[in-house]
Each structure stands twice: as structure tokens, then as C-alpha cells.
Amino acid sequence: MTSAFQLRLAKQVLLSGGIIAYPTDTLFGLSCDPANRFAVARLNQIKQRPIQQPCILLASQVEYFSGFIRVDIFQQPSLYTKLCAPPEPTSWIVPAHPDAPCWLTANDHSIAIRLSHDPLTRQLCALLQRPMVSTSANIHGQHPVHSLLALRSKFGSRIDLLLQSHHNRSDKASTIKQLNNNQAVRR
């Protein structure tokens, strides 16, 4: 289980531009601070993924997305319901806030968000009081790792901190859907 000390260390690593590996509510993930352009670039480099590929933001509270998304008054109740009570882990593609960092958004100025129900992720976000970039722990185009041993083998010292948790995960990537039409982009 992750200790309070390890959580505080993870917060410091993230805020100083580091990359952490940790179990999410779906797969093992890699994470960094979304406000740090260099950390996001480093994460993309580690994963060998295209720089223009948008990231998913995970948070423990809907309010943490406020500076990153732009959802009109008519979409707010729908988004809140979809984020808080999904039948499975689901990331939602929503319009990005005009001031959202360009390194997080897609070409159409959208951003993917997910409210995490995983205890470890929720604790990290609560400590940070903001969302975290989250992406599966894999090299772009390859299968995600499913064990701590595979994670260490694949990424080694390129990761600044590895957190462990005994919480059950689904071992399946989140579904990604468009908020405006509920259409699945990834299942």
C-alpha cells in the first residue's frame, strides 16, 4: 500500500517536473503535472508518442478541471452525471478552456478528462489540488504493461517514482467518448 510519505514524495516529484508510474482505476499509468510543458514533453519522449497527441487529465473532483475545460451551462449537468457515475472508467472529450495549455489539447481544441474513482489517484489529486496528466504505461503503439516487474523492465530509470497499490484495476484502458454526442472514440 502507498504510505502518506510516498504520496507526499509523489506530489513533490510531480510539481518539480518529474514522471511517476502508478496503478490507476484502469491500467498502470504514467503521470506528470499538466501545467508543466517540459514534463509533458518528457512523458511523450519516454512513451515515444507524437507530441501533438492529446493527453487525458485525471482528477478526484470535477472542480479541478475548471481551468482546463469549457463546458456551457447546458452541458454541465450532463458532464457532471457522466463523470460521477460511469458504468465503467470513461474519459470524456470536451471543449478545452481558451487558456488551457496547447500541449494538452487536440487540434480541434478539445481535451479528454476522467474523474478517477481509484483511491490512490484520488489521494494524489487531492494533495495536488488539480488534475494530473495520465497515460497508459506503454511505448506508443505497444500493449500496456500489466505488472510492476514489466513496468520496471520497460521504463527503468526513466521514471522518477513508482507507486504501488493493492486496489483492484480493470486491466483495460478507459473508454473514451465525445461529450456532445456520446459517441465512443475508443472502447
| Boundaries of domain holding 56 | 4-186
Average pLDDT, the chain: 88
Map residue 92 onto helix, strand or coil.
strand
Handedness of CA 79, 186, 51, 180 (dihedral sign): negative
Residue 60 or 169, more confident: 60
Torsion region of 136: left, alpha or beta (phi above 0 gives left; psi -120 to 50 gives alpha): beta
Statement: residue 45 has pLDDT above 80? yes
Handedness of CA 161, 162, 165, 171 (dihedral sign): positive
Domain count, the chain: 1
CATH number at residue 14: 3.90.870.10
State how far Cα 126 lies from the chain centre. 14
Short-list 5, 3, 12, CA closest to 128: 12
Give 80's contacts (C-beta < 8 A, 6+ positions apart): 62
Taking only the tens place, the pLDDT of each residue in 138-167 is 999 998 888 888 889 999 999 999 998 665
